[in-house]
Amino acid sequence: MKPLGYSYLYELLGTKPDVVVVLGSGLGSFGDAMENTTSVRYSDIAEFPIPEVAGHDGVLTAGTIGGKSVAAFAGRFHHYAGHTPQETALPIELAAHAEGRYCIVTNAAGGLRHDLRIGDLMLITDYLVTPLSPRLPHSMQSPFRGTKPSGTWISEELEHIARMAAWEAGTALQSGVYGYLSGPSYETRAEVAFLRKAGADAVGMSTVPELLAARKHNIPVIGISCITNEIRTHSHKLSHDDVKHAAEAASARFTDMLIRLIHSLPE
């Protein structure tokens, strides 16, 4: 019989997780940077579906970084694969049940803003839900939109920590608004024009349900996108392999930044 996931995270770590990390396409190698690791496949956790998308391994790795207990989810569940918003946020629900202290959510995203280049890292300061987005239950989002006086998603303290971690890793950290689409197809020219006018700086098919779930449970959360394609023209037909390869090329810098970020999180 498969173990129940809501107790399994605590059992793997032997303690409450200090940090829970959700890894986007091509970023699964982060688990290799952890110490004292134990891994389990999603297929061995009762509540968990199996990710269908290449670059999402479907492995939970528990271990330590800088003395902090860390749980890294390599692989996520997407709305376009038939999962509900609640199912797409399962790793965060697990973190909340295990009394996790921080969440970091990463993704691969297309750059809509003209200064965003392939390999850039972008701190998510807000999200954008449009008629093109998957339907989010009222209970997930209504208490959290517009509650921060600064108009940004992330707290000033965590933003400073993230920027310092990027600086120490020798990589620039952009910031911007993440546009959430249903997928799985990539954007048309008309959709790109609409998203830009609506204020999105990058676009992807995940992450927002996870950010909302973290806020629902009052877990401080940081969202970071790796820009894996520049949405300029459609002269080249984009494939998921292109996205995965671009993320893999940036994974060493991204991992270095995440390690430094975790080291710097307050006890």
pTM of the shown model: 0.87
pLDDT < 50 regions, the chain: 1-4, 55-56, 142-151, 234-235
Closest CA to 83 of 221, 209, 204: 209
Query: What is the structure's pLDDT at 241?
Result: 66
d(CA 36, CA 209): 30
| Look-up of token digits 């200090």 | 18
| Whether 5 contacts 47, CB under 8 Å | yes
Half-sphere exposure of 232 (CA within 13 A, CB side): 10
Q: What is the CATH number of the domain that holds 191?
A: 3.40.50.1580
Q: Provide φ and ψ at 60, rounded to 5°.
A: -100, 120
How many whole angstroms separate alpha carbon 181 and alpha carbon 129?
8
Alpha-carbon span 184 to 189, nearest angstrom:
16
Q: What is the pLDDT of residue 13?
A: 75
pLDDT for res 147: 43
pLDDT at 120 (0 to 100): 92
Our measurement of the distance from residue 53's CA atom to the centroid of its chain's CA atoms, rounded to an integer in Å, reads: 15
**Residue whose token pair is 């990027």:** 166
Q: Can you give the residue range of the structural domain that contains 112?
A: 5-264
From 143, 266, 129, select the one nearest 216 (Cα to Cα).
143
Query: What is the tally of structural domains in the chain?
Result: 1
Q: Which residues pair with 71 in a beta bridge?
A: 20, 62
